[in-house]
Structure 1
Amino acid sequence: MEQRDTYTDSPLAAPVSARTRIRSIDTLRGVALFGILLLNIIAFAFPLAAYSDPQVDGSTEGINLATFMVIDIFFEGSMRVIFSMLFGAGLLIFVAKPATDPALIKRLFYRRTWILIGFGLFNAYILVWVGDILYAYGVAGLILYFFRNLSARKLVACSLLITAFLGVLHTGFHFNIRAQRVEVVAIESLPAGTALSQEQEATMEQWDQFLVGQLATPELIREELEVKKSGYVDNFIGAAAINIFIQTTALVFNIFWDTLSMMLLGMAFMKWGWFDASRSLRFYSGAMLIGFGIGLPLNAWETISFVNSGFEPYWSAFNRPTYDIGRLSLALGYIGLVMMICKAGIFSAIRSALAAVGQMALTNYLGQSIICNLVFLGFGLGLVGELERYQLYYVVFAVWLSQLIFSVLWLRRYRFGPAEWLWRSLTYRVRQPLRL
């Protein structure tokens, strides 16, 4: 049985100690962190548009297409869902200090959250990573605190309400883009030299603007590739322009709500005891079977529809009508699977190593940015655009192995990862003991 304490067992205003950590949560967080890299590696190694469209890097047949389809079906969105859920669960762990003044806990939580926003800005701008999620977690965390005392059912209701809104949004994107694309194809099929009406010209201009917004025009793809092959300053400027859009417009209209909904669901699951491996094997096996039973067929249908359409953008990940159902179902399946393994006490060595990765999640997340930048960008090895899609996963496996080894060895001598130590020291305004 896993060593665990419920989230109400930490009495003091101090960092969680190794003895009171919930190891199954650390293990699940390690799995999610590694799973996220399966998707993030695409945006490190290719122009950003390749994340949604395998045509950008030529992955339209053979092993590269198969690689795209496997990753898209089994992992797209689901690992990010789990990572976000665990942030919500972490809030409950942090504030569960019954012997401490609630006002002090609130101050500590908000200081901790603002520092996380700082880490996100560092990752996005200094480490030039346009896929940073820490900033969004911090912004959502500023709101999340007010939901902490809601019952699990109310948290689920709030989460599902937001998720339903996102589903309507994605469905609207799908049908709107599809309608535009039909008109564009009709115009493009006109005989050469045909004079276009004002309405047709407006349609083509709108489509061009859509492609620009997706960074998917041939010119923008070529420019982004040239920037990534350049030095640090050019990459800083290029990433800053994208990050400003992501952290403003995209955050307000999508990312914030996506993040908040999954955090709320994670808080509910924490209150229901999902994450500490305390539920029955039957419960977790049921979650796994239901989650995979819904998520995998749905994701397979979406991905096959995307491929069969000739990679039309209205079938790309974020424009799929059933995107949120598929990724959430798949996340539940993975949670059930990992909790079953934790509860059964099997694969102890790999569970322990993944728990070490999860305990140092902030360090390892930032570490992935550093490693991938040095591998792919021009101020490192400059391999951006040089590898085929399937070859990216040799890099992923190497990063996984290095972080497994590093995390295990580090935690044999130290209490926290380097970034976690800094985060805690700044939060409590006291230099935390690092060595064991």
Structure 2
Amino acid sequence: MRDVDALRGFALLGILLVNVQVMADPYAGQGPYGSAGERGAAWLVTALVSSKFYLLFAFLFGYSFTLQARSAEREGAGFAGRQLRRLLCLWCLGLAHAVLLFPGDILMTYAVLGLVLFAARGLAPRKAVRVAAALVVSLGVLLLGRGLLAPVATAPGGAALPRKGTEVASCRGDPVSVVHANLGQWHDLLAGDLLYAPHILAAFLVGLAAGKRQVLAEFDRYPGRARRLVGYGLPVGLAGGVVTAMCRNGPLDGRWYDIGTAVGVLTAPALTAAYGSGLLLVLRTRRGRWLGEALAAAGRLALTHYLTQSLAMALVFTGYGLALYGRVGLVLVLAGCCVFYAAQLALSAWLVHRFRHGPVEWLLHNATRGRGA
């Protein structure tokens, strides 16, 4: 479990760096590009972070599914009932999260696709990986075809156009206005969530296959494979990330947006695998052990931290608090995120020595097992 938790704790940083751009909207009122520093920061996040860490989270979701199945079997409990209660609780948490805090919530998508994962739980590991590969390739081809056949109506570089004045005012307004703005943005983001569902499901299935083989529990048996994943995955994933960033953030214009997205869909899994394998190799070094402890502590509280990140961003950028939506540049926003993440790591180390579960994990744990558990 330590490796699972460490990977989950590591993924929290990438998720935060991507989500904050939706919450802060640093280009509102400045045009889609901002300063050279802002453009460079956006370019690097797209190349190195976007679409990589949600795949890592999704992989771990699929892997943890097998751990939960074994736990239910050991305890003689019905796994179907547990899993359905868990997914229902996750969906309700996601709904509240999307409406109140962050319209780009992923928990509801996980809950719905979790039903598909449950239905596919009998797949053999190799077949699960083949289905996952087919999903990724199909989505990449679909996006590539769309990019080649129809120009994308966006600003140069594929960046979002500046927010309308009424939308900015809503995000900076009272709590009712913030909720209204969240609902509007949620509607806009829903199509994207549906489009990327095959990508997430593919990561679920790879996690399912890895869990059945207990790859992370027996990682020390596969150091050679891990090094090969890093050796092949880094150049492929980084090259794909660079192409995606060029299409989305310049110098190529918006007509290349979907082509860049297709390249990202096809190559992001390689970089995700390289990141995860590389981290696990580092954690087995003498100097990496302390990092593993810090990341694992955060990973044990991952759901609490994920929601806390959204709460903190809402308090900083919306009318719930400082209302800095569109008023802070991306470089400063990302620097603040790194400081906040470091604080989460420090707090996690303190919390896990005093409590068995984080507050949201405790809620999900009890919902999974039923009230009397």
Q: TM-score, normalised by structure 1?
A: 0.78
Q: Is the 8 A contact 2:240 2:268 kept in 1?
A: no
Taking a change above 3 Å as real, the CA distance of residues 314 and 408 of structure 1, as seen in their structure-2 partners, is farther
Matched AA of 2:11: A
Taking a change above 3 Å as real, the CA distance of residues 258 and 85 of structure 1, as seen in their structure-2 partners, is same
Q: Is 1:33 the counterpart of 2:8 in the alignment?
A: no
> How far apart, in 2, do the equivalents of 1:270 and 1:56 lie?
46
User: Mapping of 1:81-96 within 5 angstroms?
Assistant: 81-96=55-70
Secondary structure, aligned partner of 1:344: coil
Task: Point out the more displaced range, 235-244 or 343-352.
Answer: 343-352
Name the counterpart of 2:22: 43
Secondary structure, aligned partner of 2:262: coil
**Which of these residues, 352, 360, 363, is aligned with residue 411 of structure 1?**
352
1:95-153 Cα distance to aligned partner (Å, 9 max, x none): 11434447x111111111111111110110122x1111001000000111122222111
> How far apart, in 2, do the equivalents of 1:156 and 1:339 lie?
21
1:78-103 Cα distance to aligned partner (Å, 9 max, x none): 1111011100011111011434447x
Taking a change above 3 Å as real, the CA distance of residues 156 and 345 of structure 1, as seen in their structure-2 partners, is farther
Name the counterpart of 1:194: none
> Shift of residue 309 of structure 1?
4.1
Name the counterpart of 1:59: 34
User: Mapping of 1:178-193 within 5 angstroms?
Assistant: 178=151
Q: Report the identity percentage.
A: 25
> Shift of residue 298 of structure 1?
2.2
Name the counterpart of 2:279: 338
User: Mapping of 1:393-412 within 5 angstroms?
Assistant: 393-412=334-353
> How far apart, in 2, do the equivalents of 1:55 and 1:381 lie?
19
Q: Is the 8 A contact 1:23 1:355 kept in 2?
A: yes
Taking a change above 3 Å as real, the CA distance of residues 273 and 425 of structure 1, as seen in their structure-2 partners, is closer
Taking a change above 3 Å as real, the CA distance of residues 141 and 307 of structure 1, as seen in their structure-2 partners, is closer
* Structure 2 segments unaligned to the other structure (5+ residues): none
Taking a change above 3 Å as real, the CA distance of residues 255 and 73 of structure 1, as seen in their structure-2 partners, is closer
Taking a change above 3 Å as real, the CA distance of residues 305 and 406 of structure 1, as seen in their structure-2 partners, is same
Name the counterpart of 2:83: 109
Q: Is 1:175 the counterpart of 2:175 in the alignment?
A: no
Name the counterpart of 2:323: 382
> How far apart, in 2, do the equivalents of 1:357 and 1:308 lie?
35
Task: Point out the more displaced range, 341-350 or 386-395.
Answer: 341-350
Q: Is the 8 A contact 1:215 1:221 kept in 2?
A: no
Name the counterpart of 2:107: 134
> Shift of residue 33 of structure 1?
1.3
> Shift of residue 362 of structure 1?
0.6
Matched AA of 2:243: W
Taking a change above 3 Å as real, the CA distance of residues 356 and 99 of structure 1, as seen in their structure-2 partners, is closer
Secondary structure, aligned partner of 1:379: coil
> Shift of residue 69 of structure 1?
1.9
Across the aligned residues of Structure 1 and Structure 2, the Cα RMSD in angstroms comes to 2.5
**Which of these residues, 33, 50, 57, is aligned with residue 76 of structure 1?**
50
> How far apart, in 2, do the equivalents of 1:175 and 1:345 lie?
49
Matched AA of 2:4: I
Q: Is the 8 A contact 2:294 2:345 kept in 1?
A: yes
> How far apart, in 1, do the equivalents of 2:263 and 2:250 lie?
17
Name the counterpart of 2:176: 233
Task: Point out the more displaced range, 291-300 or 266-275.
Answer: 266-275
User: Mapping of 1:264-303 within 5 angstroms?
Assistant: 264-276=205-217, 277-303=219-245
Matched AA of 2:44: V
Matched AA of 1:26: D
Matched AA of 2:117: L
Secondary structure, aligned partner of 2:299: helix
User: Mapping of 1:361-376 within 5 angstroms?
Assistant: 361-376=302-317
> Shift of residue 72 of structure 1?
1.5
> How far apart, in 2, do the equivalents of 1:41 and 1:362 lie?
17
> How far apart, in 1, do the equivalents of 2:249 and 2:308 lie?
33
Matched AA of 2:82: L
> Shift of residue 279 of structure 1?
3.1
> Shift of residue 359 of structure 1?
0.7
> Shift of residue 259 of structure 1?
1.7
Secondary structure, aligned partner of 2:196: helix
Q: TM-score, normalised by structure 2?
A: 0.91
> How far apart, in 1, do the equivalents of 2:200 and 2:188 lie?
17
Taking a change above 3 Å as real, the CA distance of residues 337 and 223 of structure 1, as seen in their structure-2 partners, is same
Taking a change above 3 Å as real, the CA distance of residues 338 and 317 of structure 1, as seen in their structure-2 partners, is farther
> Shift of residue 335 of structure 1?
1.2
Q: Is 1:157 the counterpart of 2:130 in the alignment?
A: yes
Matched AA of 1:74: L
**Which of these residues, 110, 117, 135, is aligned with residue 144 of structure 1?**
117
Q: Max radius of gyration: which structure?
A: 1
Q: Is the 8 A contact 1:376 1:383 kept in 2?
A: yes
Q: Is the 8 A contact 2:243 2:263 kept in 1?
A: no
Taking a change above 3 Å as real, the CA distance of residues 337 and 67 of structure 1, as seen in their structure-2 partners, is same
Taking a change above 3 Å as real, the CA distance of residues 149 and 217 of structure 1, as seen in their structure-2 partners, is same
Secondary structure, aligned partner of 1:278: helix
Q: Is the 8 A contact 1:174 1:314 kept in 2?
A: yes
* Structure 1 segments unaligned to the other structure (5+ residues): 1-21, 182-206
> Shift of residue 244 of structure 1?
4.0
> Shift of residue 255 of structure 1?
3.3
